[in-house]
Amino acid sequence: MTTDPKLEKLKQILNEIADLDNAMSLLHWDMQCYMPQEGAEARGNQIATIGRLAHENRTSEVLGKLLDDLAPFAAQGDPDSDDVRLIQVTKRQYDKATKVPIDLVVEFSQVTSSAHQVWEQARANNDFESFRPSLEKIFELRRRFADCFAPYDHVYDPLLDEFEPGLKTADVKAIFEALRPRQVELLQAIKARPQVEDAFLHQQYEDAKQWDFGVQVLNQIGYDWKRSRQDRAAHPFTTNFSINDVRITTRIIPDNLGSALFSTLHEGGHAMYELGVNQHYERTPLAGGTSLAIHESQSRMWENLVGRSLPFWQHFYPRLQQTFPAQLGNVSLEAFYKGVNKVEPSLIRVEADEATYNMHVMLRLELEIAVLEGKLAVKDLPEAWNARMQEYLGLTPPNDSKGVLQDVHWSGGMIGYFSTYALGNLVSGQLWECINTDIPDLPDQIRRGEFAALRGWLTEKVHQYGSKYEPQELVKRITGTKIDPAPYLRYLTEKYRSIYGF
């Protein structure tokens, strides 16, 4: 137990900052789940006030002085100790926060709070023009944020760093350039084969039964309801206000059985990451996942590598058939397994199959970069979106609600976020190979509905460390290499070769 008074003072300040951040997260969660429409303006002011207070504390001279005083301690201490890592992570965050003026922080909070409600209405009404002014303002604010960190290698770098610390735009482009041709090759091989049937997934499925089945699956995989809950939202998400208070949401579509179940598994994967963080990190910058790519590696693993696997459905499918006998009673396990893994270009990213998903992400990354570089105007985003959808997936959205307006991220100012989805896929493949080496009978365990060994491995290797290690460092510690597309491509090829027979 540490006795250094300056380190104790640092932790006290960090605890208070964490409390403010968590209170703001609670307001955001309520805004997306329960807040009445007319509450948007007041909520924006509340979030802006808390954001200002948190930023003032995060950039205070007292905190800066403590970090300077503790620099010798950090330099001489065990570089892998929690205290040294805490100081390093805090110093990194402090150096970033002190470059951003308080008025920009407040304005960004206000604009994005009101923009969320505008986006919801715009998407419901298929009306991009009503959202365009908000989006133009958000991109302007993100450019101003990026300029706080000039000189940079690329204007997108400071935004990417918000979600993926240490990664550069050039790194992501290089990874995607290596990934894209292999994904296209895989899609062409699948396209040459007879298509699998999935019409049975698009019958009418009762809302309450979909919800209850998702809860049963969460129970089976070991979701901790004493420290978490599930609600509904227009766009599924996970948030947390503590290691012991994590919230997930899902979205039920009556004629799409997979939507709610796989979003529940996806968000459950995010939640179990947060719930698995070392309790000693509570109310400090070490709490929470180290990056969005690592977070997505957990959610995409549970959604796809586990949730769309044959062993998973060998266990759960009889129960699902009993839940929906009229729709699935005559559908074989093999047909169902192939159906939930059908590869077909689609309009909506969150409903996309594993083989096409990364193409959706690349599209969004390219558009964000083009707008920030000044090569694409916000008013031209719908046209550019549709053109790339046609180029990458051979589809043109029939309206903006199923095109440029489908994602919640831009309304929240989360520009720089999208690439982490694809990066998370790649990390999930790397981890999966290691997991199956360490737990060679994992498929049999899943087939029996046993998930304790898998949860234990993830907690030991990934979750417990929270933000102690930067993402690339964590991946290398576990797998021996930094983020690498090869394992994920091996996984996809093996899986779809079996399903499509090429």
Q: Is the pLDDT of residue 487 over 90?
A: yes
* 15-67 per-position pLDDT tens digit: 999 999 999 999 999 998 999 989 988 998 999 899 999 999 999 999 999 99
DSSP string, 309-330: SHHHHHHHHHHHHHHSHHHHTT
Alpha carbons 154 and 175: distance in angstroms, whole number: 16
Asked if 267 is an active-site residue, the reply is yes
pLDDT at residue 214 in the model: 98
Q: Is the pLDDT of residue 308 over 90?
A: yes
The type of residue at 140 is E
Alpha carbons 193 and 191: distance in angstroms, whole number: 5
Q: What is the mean pLDDT of the chain?
A: 95
Q: 232 pairs with which residues across the strands?
A: 250
Tell me the pTM: 0.91
The type of residue at 237 is F
Residue 59: Cβ within 10 Å count: 20
pLDDT at residue 234 in the model: 82
Alpha carbons 320 and 328: distance in angstroms, whole number: 8
* 320-351 per-position pLDDT tens digit: 999 999 999 999 999 999 999 999 999 999 88
Question: One of 120, 162, 164, 267 is an active-site residue; which one?
Answer: 267
Torsion angles phi and psi, residue 275, rounded to 5: -70, -20
- pLDDT (mean) for 252-280: 96
Q: Is the pLDDT of residue 3 over 80?
A: no
Which residue, 352, 247, 345, 338, is CA-closest to 300?
Answer: 352
Residues in the chain: 502
* 398-427 per-position pLDDT tens digit: 999 999 999 999 999 999 999 999 999 999
Question: CA gyration radius for the chain?
Answer: 23
Residue 217, classed as helix, strand or coil, is helix
Helical (H) or strand (E) element with 339? helix 333-340
pLDDT at residue 351 in the model: 83
- pLDDT (mean) for 109-113: 91
* 29-40 per-position pLDDT tens digit: 999 899 998 998
- pLDDT (mean) for 433-457: 98
Alpha carbons 353 and 348: distance in angstroms, whole number: 10
- pLDDT (mean) for 188-201: 96
Alpha helices in 148-241 (DSSP H): 157-163, 169-191, 207-221
pLDDT at residue 1 in the model: 46
- pLDDT (mean) for 191-210: 97
* 362-401 per-position pLDDT tens digit: 999 999 999 999 999 999 999 999 999 999 999 999 999 9
According to DSSP, the β-strands at 245-250 and 228-232 are parallel
* 118-170 per-position pLDDT tens digit: 999 999 999 999 999 999 999 999 999 999 999 999 999 999 999 999 899 99
pLDDT at residue 235 in the model: 82
